[in-house]
């Protein structure tokens, strides 16, 4: 089963490292993270794939991210 690391996906999508985004604005990172996870959920559902999304434990502390993660296969890395 293929896996996608959420942080790597964010870095590719935004063109900045997670550290740079966090240094700029933790609030911005929170919005970006939620949007990126929503993208991955939709891609899994539309494509009918079973990609596993790799998340950090801190990602699941956000209620919206936890709700989204519950909709797809995921693992904590």
Each residue's pLDDT tens digit in the chain (77 positions)? Answer: 689 999 999 999 999 999 999 999 999 999 999 999 999 999 998 988 888 999 999 999 999 999 999 999 999 99
Domain count for the chain:
1
**Contact criterion met (CB below 8 Å) for 55 and 76:** yes
Q: Retrieve residue 65's tokens.
A: 């991210």
Q: Please provide the DSSP assignment of the chain as one string.
A: --EEEHHHHHHHHHSS-HHHHHHH-HHHHHHHHHHHHHHHHHHHHHHT--PEEEE-TTGGGSHHHHHHHTTS-EEE-
State which residues form the domain around 55.
Answer: 3-76
pTM: 0.91
């Amino acid at each position: 089963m293929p896996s996608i690391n959420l942080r790597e996906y964010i870095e590719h999508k935004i063109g900045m490292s997670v550290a740079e985004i966090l240094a700029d604005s933790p609030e911005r990172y929170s919005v970006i993270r939620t949007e990126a996870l929503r993208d991955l959920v939709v891609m899994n559902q539309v494509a009918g794939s079973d990609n596993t999304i790799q998340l950090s434990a801190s990602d699941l502390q956000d209620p919206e991210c936890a709700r989204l993660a519950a909709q797809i296969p995921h693992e904590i890395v």
